[in-house]
Structure 1
């Protein structure tokens, strides 16, 4: 399980874009969003660096 703090994720639209970006890297990943805490939990077999890159390219770099 990978956990990320995404300070720029402020709404449901942001959460949807984050999920879409991650699913492009790993279509089988499971994404859980904690909007009040701006945290993201991702269950994926992909390397953490690949997930960070996908989030950053989508405009939501982890802190």
Structure 2
């Protein structure tokens, strides 16, 4: 098992707290052990997970939002 890493992800398309909840749930569904903090203001997520950034970006995309690497 890989060690957990801090991922900072830039998220596009969030407009409300419902978006924050949707993205948080999508990330936690992909990795239930992840520590997920999504901020509407600033449009970013901080995720501590053993998954790769690419896997997390895919989870966000599947939830209907754009995502990319932030300032790690």
CA distance in 2 between partners of 1:20 and 1:34 (Å): 14
Q: Which structure has greater strand proportion? A: 2
Shift in Å, 1:4: 1.0
TM-score by length of 1: 0.89
TM-score by length of 2: 0.79
> 23, 30, 45: which one pairs with 1:25?
30
Shift in Å, 1:5: 1.2
Shift in Å, 1:61: 1.8
The answer to which of 30-39 and 49-58 deviates more is 30-39
For structure 1, the 5+ residue unaligned runs are: none
Q: Which structure has greater helix proportion? A: 1
Q: Which runs of 4+ in 1 moved over 3 A?
A: none
Q: Which residue of 1 aligns with 2:66?
A: 61
* Bigger Rg over Cα: 2
Count of residue pairs the alignment pairs up? 63
For structure 2, the 5+ residue unaligned runs are: 1-5
Contact 2:26–2:60, Cα closer than 8 Å, also in 1: yes
